């Protein structure tokens, strides 16, 4: 969803201007607006996995087994096996990082979209558990009261 709907921070060029040169310069204001809009909409959205995740992946049995196989291949001076195992490890880690990022993004957008639906700000927002706790403490049916209590508890 993110790559198809939002512009990442790494994308900052007007591709039309790059392709067609000065003939495409009339849209500079439009592209500047689009860049700034997409960069600020969900600036807190995860765009990369954490280094902690990499440490977590290294502790997995499959990764640990591949690392042991890699060490054996190196000791036997088998360059072909060493290269093959290296590629397997790289592919596994890249896939795991992509999946972890996808999970984090899904969690983030689920939480943020819920806050938006309630009319709450999404920047530097506390976790969903805090809001749920605030809802449980308020005995009335008023969502407004729950929001007020939640905001007070965050202050």
Residue-wise pLDDT for 69-99, tens only, equals: 989 999 999 999 999 998 898 888 888 888 9
State the greatest distance between any 2 C-alpha atoms of the chain, in Å, as a whole number.
72
Cβ neighbours for 57, distance < 8 A, ≥ 6 positions apart: 63, 92, 93, 96, 97
Comparing 36 with 122, the larger pLDDT belongs to 122
* Separation of alpha carbons 19 and 35, rounded Å: 18
User: In 10 A of CB 131, how many CB atoms?
Assistant: 22
Query: Of 33, 38, 30, which is closest to residue 11 (Cα–Cα)?
Result: 38
* Separation of alpha carbons 55 and 91, rounded Å: 16
At residue 41, the pLDDT reads: 60
Q: pTM (2 decimals)?
A: 0.52
Average pLDDT over residues 11-31: 71
Comparing 109 with 135, the larger pLDDT belongs to 109
97 contacts 19 by C-beta, under 8 angstroms: no
Q: What percent of the chain has pLDDT over 90?
A: 13
At residue 138, the pLDDT reads: 47
């Amino acid at each position: 969803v993110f790559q198809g709907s939002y512009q990442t921070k790494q994308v900052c060029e007007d591709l039309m201007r790059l392709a067609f040169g000065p003939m495409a310069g009339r849209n500079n204001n439009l592209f500047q607006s689009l860049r700034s809009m997409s960069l600020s909409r969900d600036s807190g959205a995860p765009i990369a996995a954490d280094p902690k995740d990499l440490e977590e992946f290294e502790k997995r049995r499959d990764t640990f087994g591949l690392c042991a196989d890699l060490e054996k291949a190196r000791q036997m001076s088998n360059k072909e096996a060493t290269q093959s195992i290296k590629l397997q490890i790289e592919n596994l880690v890249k896939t795991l990082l992509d999946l972890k990022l996808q999970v984090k993004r899904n969690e983030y957008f689920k939480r943020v979209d819920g806050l938006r639906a309630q009319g709450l700000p999404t920047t530097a927002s506390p976790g969903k558990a805090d809001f749920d706790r605030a809802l449980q403490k308020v005995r009335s049916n008023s969502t407004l009261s729950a929001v007020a209590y939640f905001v007070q508890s965050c202050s």
